[in-house]
Amino acid sequence: MFKLDHKSIVITAALVASTTLFTGCFGTSNIAESYNGSVDALDGGVTYPRENGIETAYAYNTQDVSGVNHGRVPTPNELKAWDADIMPDGTGLPEGSGSVELGDELYESQCASCHGEFGAGGKGYPTLAGGSLDSLTNQRTAPGMDAPKRTFGSYWPQASTMIWYIRDAMPYAHPKSLSNDELYALTAYLLNVNEISIDGVEVDDEYVLDREKFLKIKMPNREGFYPNIDGPNGVENVRAFFADRPKNIGAGTKCMEDCKDPNILDGNKEATVMRIGMEISNVVPAYSTVRDLPVEAGTSAKSETEKLYDANCALCHATDAMGAPAVGDHDTWATVVAQGMDKVNSNAINGFGGMPAKGGNMDLTDAQVIDIVKFMVDSSK
């Protein structure tokens, strides 16, 4: 059905030469693996392996991120440069126009090396054309049949996401390098290879796309995204599944408004947000349950205790150069703590060995020293 079927045969040979060069520079293997959709997926989405041969819709990151440098906070101007959404209602959509013809040229020179001729994919990068419509709906009710592909033409419900994505992220190595006219041309070309019509007019090889026409695009899968699962068209077992929410979906209620439970009050006498009861488990490696982000360097508010530590103890305890147990040194502090905290606190208050009583500052109260010791111990776990 799709143009790529008949055109691709002609150019396959020429392609082989041009692409082998390219794949050397980019790690394609990860991407290829993560786009392996399972035909059994309930809603046809991409799935990822869990243990015991189970698949999950959620990918977990197996990389070691302990050494990741979280960088700095962007400046307001840097943020503004990227915070330019293109919305389905036309918000943020630039003026401009571009032809399928120009788009074809641009695509050949800037995109085909990764996304394949006519968007056909095949190189480990996302496929941009092909796939069958209605397949999402079918997947929900008849999994395994006619699995959908995540392509622009058959999957994406809005064209605005597409033009926005291309403008902000593509081509991969030079994002934001395309002019508005080039952007329209590439979008026109991708509409063309996906055989999409605008307002009843087919986007053919002569088509010129502009802002006004763009706003009339209705993507084929716009309605198919929300299958009518529990309505009259849903198959019986699926309807039964969704009908018994407490059992199958969890006892909680999903909500987008009035999400607080008036029967449960927390310490501030505020109603708490209702909790949805179904946890995802059985995943290897386990999902992290840590909910806080890494502390930003230099911006965290220090506690009074930490300030006292900085002023009175860090000089000797920041490293082990003075023979003091260095804060953060897990093993050494484990040995210290093994003596029992009463002993450790009393050593810090009264001094012992090279450790002066209260670190040499007799203005500190015993309670303050004990707090600081607790901070040092906690920071060394």
Judged by the rule CB under 6 A, the positions of this chain that interact with ligand HEC are: 26, 31, 110-111, 113-115, 125-126, 128, 150, 152, 162, 165-166, 170-173, 186, 312-313, 315-317, 322-325, 336, 339, 343-344, 347-348, 352-356, 358-360, 364, 369, 372-373
From the list 337, 338, 339, the residue with the least C-alpha distance to 374 is 337
* Residue of closest CB approach to ligand HEC: 353
Tell me whether residue 166 or residue 238 sits nearer to ligand HEC (CB atom): 166
Distance CA 362, CA 369 (A): 10
C-beta of 311: minimal distance to ligand HEC in Å? 9
C-beta of 375: minimal distance to ligand HEC in Å? 8
Tell me whether residue 114 or residue 193 sits nearer to ligand HEC (CB atom): 114
Could you tell me if 38 and 53 are in contact, meaning their C-beta atoms sit under 8 angstroms apart? no
C-beta of 55: minimal distance to ligand HEC in Å? 19
Q: CA separation (Å) from 21 to 12, 114, 207? A: 15, 11, 33
Hey, how many other C-beta atoms are within 10 angstroms of the C-beta on 108? 15
C-beta of 174: minimal distance to ligand HEC in Å? 9
C-beta of 124: minimal distance to ligand HEC in Å? 8
Tell me whether residue 238 or residue 327 sits nearer to ligand HEC (CB atom): 327
Those residues with Cβ within 8 angstroms of residue 242's Cβ, 6 or more apart along the chain or in another chain: 229, 230, 234, 248, 249
The burial of 214, by beta-carbon neighbours within 10 Å (0-12 exposed, 13-18 middle, 19 or more buried), is given as buried
From the list 332, 315, 313, 316, the residue with the least C-alpha distance to 324 is 316
Tell me whether residue 184 or residue 238 sits nearer to ligand HEC (CB atom): 184
Tell me whether residue 128 or residue 238 sits nearer to ligand HEC (CB atom): 128
Q: CA separation (Å) from 328 to 309, 334, 340? A: 13, 11, 19
- Tokens representing residue 12 in the block: 């396959």
Tell me whether residue 141 or residue 154 sits nearer to ligand HEC (CB atom): 154
C-beta of 76: minimal distance to ligand HEC in Å? 26
Tell me whether residue 67 or residue 353 sits nearer to ligand HEC (CB atom): 353
Tell me whether residue 12 or residue 109 sits nearer to ligand HEC (CB atom): 109
How many residues would you count in the chain? 381
C-beta of 223: minimal distance to ligand HEC in Å? 19
Tell me whether residue 210 or residue 329 sits nearer to ligand HEC (CB atom): 329
Those residues with Cβ within 8 angstroms of residue 235's Cβ, 6 or more apart along the chain or in another chain: 141, 142
Residue 353, phi then psi, degrees to nearest 5: 55, -135
Those residues with Cβ within 8 angstroms of residue 230's Cβ, 6 or more apart along the chain or in another chain: 238, 239, 242, 243
Hey, how many other C-beta atoms are within 10 angstroms of the C-beta on 104? 19
Q: CA separation (Å) from 348 to 62, 285, 339, 380? A: 42, 41, 13, 16
Tell me whether residue 18 or residue 91 sits nearer to ligand HEC (CB atom): 18
Distance CA 125, CA 107 (A): 14
Could you tell me if 141 and 132 are in contact, meaning their C-beta atoms sit under 8 angstroms apart? no
C-beta of 21: minimal distance to ligand HEC in Å? 12
C-beta of 129: minimal distance to ligand HEC in Å? 10
C-beta of 262: minimal distance to ligand HEC in Å? 42
Distance CA 325, CA 44 (A): 56
